[in-house]
Structure 1
C-alpha cells in the first residue's frame, strides 16, 4: 500500500513516529485503524444494551467476548501491544487506544462496569510504611503511583462505574508476602467499593487447569455497604476434555524435531533425578492440560500431544484458541509466535462469561431495590 502525502504532513508524521518510538508504517496503520473504528461507530445503529462496559488491558478481547455475551456494549478499549491490537481490530472492527498511562480519565466514556486484566507490577511499600509510622494518612495515589494498577484506580475514581471486574494470576495473593494484594484491596476499598475476590479454575469450562484470581467490586456510594456477593457458578452439563479441542489433521510443522524432543526428555530426566517436577507435559486426551502460558511459542513443552509413530506435537494456534474457550469464528491474523503469546496471555472466555452474568444479576437486584442511581447510558 503506497500513500502519497504532503511534506508538512510527512514531517508531522515523522515527528510523531520519533516521539512514540514507532515506525512510520505502524503509525500509519494505527491511524487507518482508528479512522475505520470511528467510521464504524458512526454507521452503527445505537443499541439499547443491558449495560455498558470498558475493556482495559484488553489483549485480544477475551473479556470483551464474555461481557458481550452477557448483554453488554463495549464503549471503550485499551491495549498497548500492536500485535494484540491487530487481532482485536480483526475481530471487533475497533482499534483499542494505546498506552493507558497517557489517557486522560475524563476522556473515557461513562460506563456501568470496568473490566481489566491488569499486569501485576511491583508496588513500593516503603513510602506507605514511613507515612503510617508518622501517623500520616495515605490515599490510593500514594500507594499505587507508578504502577498500571494506578490507572485503574484513577479511572474508577473519576468515572465511578457501578461495578468492576479485575483479573490476574493467582499468585497475586502471595506476591511480596501478601503485601501487594493488601495494597490493591485497601486502595479499592478507599475508593469506596465493596470488594469480593476468589481464585477460580477454568477447567470446568475448558480442558485446561488454569487458576486466576478475580476481584469484583460494587460502588458503595451508589449501593451502600450492605452488599453481598457469591461466586456461585452454574455447574457445567458436561466437562470438556482435550480430545474435544483437537484438529483431526495437523501440519507436520507442529511436530517436535528430533533435536528438541531429545532435549526436552533429557531436561525432564535431569530434574526428575534432582527431585524436581520440571519437564514437558503430555496432555491426556480424556483429561485436562496444564496451564497454557505466553511462553508456549518457545517449545510448547507444557502441553504436548502424543502421536503414533512420531514425536509429540505442540498445539496449533486454533487449538490454543479452543483451549481458552474462543469460538472457531475468532480470527487469528498474526503469526503463530504472536498467536501463542496472545492466547497464553488471555482468559478462559466461558468462565469470564459466567462471572459476568453473576455481576449483572447482582447489579440488577441492587437497582431494583432502589438503592442505585439512574443507570449510566
Structure 2
C-alpha cells in the first residue's frame, strides 16, 4: 500500500487519478491518508466542501497548510499536489538549525517544511505547476525552479520533470503543465537513476518517458550543475541571462542536471470536444448566446489593432491576434481558465456551434475536459460559475492516472 497525502487538493484531481490507477491495476495500490485544501480569499470553502462530500471529512484538513503542525500529518510514502506559482526566492537565513526559509505565504515552503521535519520522509513526490515555472521570474530566468530543485536536492531527492500538453497524448484539452517526480535517496528508483546516464533516464527509462513517451531525437539538450547553496541559488541563478536553462524535460541528481527539449511520441486516439459534449436536448436555454450578443463575442474573439486610452488619459496602440470562433468540435479544447463561467461575453470562454445556435459549455462538459467524473463539482450552494472556476484551477486527471500506474509498477 502506498500511503499518500494530497496537498492543495482543490476538488481532488490527484486523488481521482490515483483511484483510477487502482482500478486499472484491480487492487488498491494508493491510499490517501490525509488531505488539505484551503482557499484564503473566499469565505465559503467550495472546493473543500466538494472534497468532503465525495470522500468524507475524516483525515481532511480545511485550514492553511502553513498553520498545520507537521506532527499532525500521518507518515506517508507519497506526497502529491499542485501548488501555487509564486515567488520562491529565499528570504531569510535563520540562526537556528532549520536553515533557510522563503517568504511567508509562499506555499512551496510548506511542502519544504513537511519534507524537512518528517523523520520518515515520503519516498516519492508527484507535483504539478504551470509551465512558466521553468522560466520565471523575468529578471532571473529559471531561478524559481532552480530554488525548488536545489531545496529537494538538499533534502535527498532526485527529481525528473516534464512539461506535458495533455492533448498531445490523446486527452481532450490543450492544457500545458509541468509535472515533476521526486525520488528519495532511500528508494530503489533513486539508485536506478544513479546507475544510468541521465539522458537515458529522461528519454527512455524514466517514469515520465514510460508514462508519456518522447522522440529520441531531441531538439536541444544541455548538462549543467546547480552551483552554490540554496541562498546563493536564490540570489544569483539566472542573473544576466535572457533564457532559462531548463527545457521541457529533465532530471536532477546530486546537483547534476540534464535537460532536453523533447517532442511527444504518440499515435493513439485523440479525444475532441465533440466526444464530450451533451446532446442538444440536454442544454438549458441560458447557455445559448442571444443573437444580440453575438457581435460582442465576435469582437472579443477577433483580431484587434486600435488606439485605446488608459484611465489616466494616456493613449496607446493596442493589438492582439484573433481566436477561432466558435471553437472547433473536431479538436481538443483550449485550456480552461478560471473565468470560464458566466454569461458575459469573453475572449477566453469556450463557445461551440450547434444546430440550435452558439452556446457556452456546461460545468459537466468542463469536468469531462479535465477527465473528472460527471457532476463531480455539483453540490448545493455551488453555482455553475463557481464550478467552472474550480475546473479552471484543476488538472487533467488522466495524466496523474498514467504517472501513478507507471510508478506503482516500477516500485514492485
TM-score by length of 1: 0.74
Is this contact kept in 2: 1:143–1:183, CA < 8 A? no
Residue 290 of structure 2 corresponds to which residue in structure 1?
257
- Could you tell me which of 324, 331, 340 is aligned with 1:287? 331
Are 1:246 and 2:281 counterparts?
Answer: no
Q: Give, in whole Å, the separation in 1 of the partners of 2:74 and 2:98.
A: 25
User: Secondary structure of the equivalent of 2:352?
Assistant: strand
Aligned CA-pair RMSD: 2.7
Are 1:85 and 2:48 counterparts?
Answer: yes
- Could you tell me which of 98, 101, 114 is aligned with 2:79? 114
What is the number of residues matched between the two proteins? Answer: 307
Are 1:152 and 2:198 counterparts?
Answer: no
Residue 374 of structure 1 corresponds to which residue in structure 2?
none
Distance change (3 Å), C-alpha of 1:213 and 1:360: same
Is this contact kept in 2: 1:139–1:187, CA < 8 A? no
Give the C-alpha shift of residue 288 in structure 1.
1.3
Give the C-alpha shift of residue 352 in structure 1.
1.2
Distance change (3 Å), C-alpha of 1:222 and 1:99: same
Distance change (3 Å), C-alpha of 1:142 and 1:158: closer
1:10-89 matched pairs, under 5 angstroms:
50-70=1-21, 71-81=29-39, 82-89=45-52
Are 1:200 and 2:164 counterparts?
Answer: yes
User: Secondary structure of the equivalent of 2:320?
Assistant: coil
Distance change (3 Å), C-alpha of 1:163 and 1:126: closer
1:226-245 matched pairs, under 5 angstroms:
226-227=192-193, 228=201, 229-231=206-208, 232-233=210-211, 237-245=268-276
Q: Give, in whole Å, the separation in 2 of the partners of 1:226 and 1:145.
A: 36
Distance change (3 Å), C-alpha of 1:330 and 1:269: closer
User: Secondary structure of the equivalent of 1:244?
Assistant: helix
Q: Give, in whole Å, the separation in 2 of the partners of 1:141 and 1:68.
A: 36
Are 1:162 and 2:123 counterparts?
Answer: yes
Q: Give, in whole Å, the separation in 2 of the partners of 1:332 and 1:285.
A: 25
Q: Give, in whole Å, the separation in 2 of the partners of 1:291 and 1:182.
A: 26
Q: Give, in whole Å, the separation in 1 of the partners of 2:174 and 2:305.
A: 22
Instruction: Compare 275-284 and 63-72 and name the one that shifted more.
Output: 275-284
Which segments of 5 or more consecutive residues in structure 2 lack a partner in the other structure? 22-28, 40-44, 194-200, 213-265, 307-317
Give the C-alpha shift of residue 141 in structure 1.
3.3
Superimposed CA distance per residue, residues 141-186 of structure 1 (whole angstroms, 9 cap, x where no aligned partner):
3346541000111112233111001101111111202111111111
Is this contact kept in 2: 1:113–1:163, CA < 8 A? yes
- Could you tell me which of 57, 62, 66 is aligned with 1:94? 57
Give the C-alpha shift of residue 292 in structure 1.
0.5
Is this contact kept in 2: 1:303–1:315, CA < 8 A? yes
Are 1:316 and 2:372 counterparts?
Answer: no
Give the C-alpha shift of residue 363 in structure 1.
2.8
Distance change (3 Å), C-alpha of 1:175 and 1:106: same
User: Secondary structure of the equivalent of 1:60?
Assistant: coil
Give the C-alpha shift of residue 258 in structure 1.
4.1
Give the C-alpha shift of residue 230 in structure 1.
3.7
- Could you tell me which of 169, 175, 178 is aligned with 2:136? 175
Q: Give, in whole Å, the separation in 1 of the partners of 2:99 and 2:5.
A: 21
Is this contact kept in 2: 1:208–1:290, CA < 8 A? yes
- Decide which structure has greater strand share: 2
Distance change (3 Å), C-alpha of 1:73 and 1:125: closer
Q: Give, in whole Å, the separation in 1 of the partners of 2:376 and 2:17.
A: 13
Is this contact kept in 2: 1:324–1:347, CA < 8 A? yes
Is this contact kept in 2: 1:75–1:109, CA < 8 A? yes
Superimposed CA distance per residue, residues 276-306 of structure 1 (whole angstroms, 9 cap, x where no aligned partner):
2255642211111110111111546432111
Residue 397 of structure 2 corresponds to which residue in structure 1?
349
Q: Give, in whole Å, the separation in 1 of the partners of 2:127 and 2:172.
A: 23
Instruction: Compare 270-279 and 200-209 and name the one that shifted more.
Output: 270-279
